[in-house]
Chain A
Amino acid sequence: MNPETLVDLFEMDGYALYVWGSFAMVAAAAIWEALMLVQRRRRALEDLHELSRLRDHEAKQPGAGESFSSPEHAA
């Protein structure tokens, strides 16, 4: 027996809480996961932008190219 009206669809013969509770949780889980994923990617890219800015900044400094492995820093 398929629901014939919108009321039938909403009520699901009394099982509304359980059927819609299940489908709603699936939708909520999917949306939540998508938001978390987008947030994670955005943070990772912001990190990379920050790094790339720092690198460009360092490259412009006088004395750029000094390495920390030079002998006077080894002590």
Chain B
Amino acid sequence: MPVDRPSRPAETVGSPAALLMYGRAGQWLTLCVATALAAGAAGAGVGLVATPGELPQGQAWRIAFVHLPAAWLSLTLFAATTALALVEALAHPPWPPVAAMALAPTGALMSFVTLWTGALWTKPLWGQWWLWDARPLAESAMLALFVAFMAVRAGLANPARAARAGAWLLAAGVVGLAVLAVAARGFNPLHGPMPSGLTRLPVFDGSLGAALPLMTLAFAAWCGAAVLHRLRSLLLEQARDAAWTQTLREAR
């Protein structure tokens, strides 16, 4: 007689997959935190005081060392949140539907940091806190989608319905962003035209040293650590009554 795979959220909280997820997340957590702190300290050090070569806009260009990693992380987290939200809602995985909700708050924070650092960069150089351009528009849309997703997931009582509603929201958001990306392809008054200019920027030809790779690693590791930590807490919250939580050393 084949064993039924737990397919509804209520059945997944007590599953072996939940305990496995909890344990694995814990194993990677320390490594992520250590990497983030080491790479962040090194990256900030190089980025603030030891960049080789001439910075194109003087000292203001140092903002790139936090603005770019934040932007890349927000994009990655948005893609991952959407993918996992769809998987959780449609594919009925054996683990509880906690992965997308673990990613969303960190993604929202990265979006916010991108917009904030972007504003601080445009103000001294172009005189305004906000300039209309495809990328700030897209980033703002992503922040709104992250927040809306969290609200929908937290607001609906039925976990299966919440998972579906959240997933459809993000899927609609991705479609909207794709339309925006196509429509705004030529709309780059602030960031400049996309592919041709990118490789000529100093930060991508290696002339600015290791600051950007280090900071990108630091941001990625920090986001990883935050997501893993939140994942564990979500599992503990959802599986309050499950047998596996009672066996944990920290739950006694």
- Selected from B50, B59, B66, B251, the residue in CB contact (under 8 A) with A12 is B59
Q: Which residues of B contact A47 (CB under 8 A)?
A: 236-237, 240
Q: Is A15 in contact with B44, judged by CB distance below 8 angstroms?
A: no
Of all chain A residues, which has the CB nearest B70?
A26
Of all chain B residues, which has the CB nearest A42?
B233
A66 within 8 A of B: no
Q: Is B58 in contact with A13, judged by CB distance below 8 angstroms?
A: yes
What sequence of 0s and 1s flags, for each residue 18-60 of chain A, a beta carbon within 8 Å of any chain B beta carbon?
A: 1101110110011001100100110011011101100100000
Q: Is A18 in contact with B63, judged by CB distance below 8 angstroms?
A: yes
Q: Is A18 in contact with B120, judged by CB distance below 8 angstroms?
A: yes
Determine the distance from Cα of A23 to Cα of B64 in the docked complex, in whole angstroms: 10
Q: Is A12 in contact with B62, judged by CB distance below 8 angstroms?
A: yes
Given contacts A9-B48, A22-B121, A44-B237, contact A52 B67 (CB under 8 A): no
Determine the distance from Cα of A23 to Cα of B51 in the docked complex, in whole angstroms: 16
Determine the distance from Cα of A37 to Cα of B29 in the docked complex, in whole angstroms: 13
B226 within 8 A of A: yes
Q: Is B240 in contact with A48, judged by CB distance below 8 angstroms?
A: yes
- Selected from B62, B229, B251, the residue in CB contact (under 8 A) with A45 is B251
A64 within 8 A of B: no
Q: Nearest Cβ distance between residue A8 and chain B, in whole angstroms? A: 9
- Selected from B48, B60, B226, B246, the residue in CB contact (under 8 A) with A23 is B48
Interface residues contributed by chain A, number (CB under 8 Å)? 31
Secondary structure type dominating chain B contacts: helix
Q: Is B50 in contact with A2, judged by CB distance below 8 angstroms?
A: yes
Which residues of chain B from 199 to 248 have any CB-CB distance to chain A below 8 Å in the complex? Answer: 222, 226, 229-230, 232-233, 236-237, 240-241, 245-246, 248
Additional 6 contacts, C-beta under 8 A, given A3-B59, A22-B63, A26-B70: A15-B59, A17-B120, A18-B120, A18-B121, A19-B62, A22-B120
> Can you list 22 A-B pairs, Cβ within 8 angstroms, ordered by A?
A1-B58, A2-B50, A14-B124, A18-B63, A18-B123, A19-B59, A19-B60, A19-B63, A22-B66, A22-B120, A25-B113, A26-B66, A30-B222, A33-B226, A34-B226, A37-B229, A37-B230, A40-B233, A41-B236, A45-B251, A47-B236, A48-B240
A residues contacting B by CB (< 8 A) are: 1-3, 9, 12-15, 17-19, 21-23, 25-26, 29-30, 33-34, 37, 40-41, 44-45, 47-49, 51-52, 55
B residues contacting A by CB (< 8 A) are: 44, 48-51, 54-55, 58-60, 62-63, 66-67, 70, 105-106, 109, 112-113, 116-117, 120-121, 123-124, 222, 226, 229-230, 232-233, 236-237, 240-241, 245-246, 248, 250-252
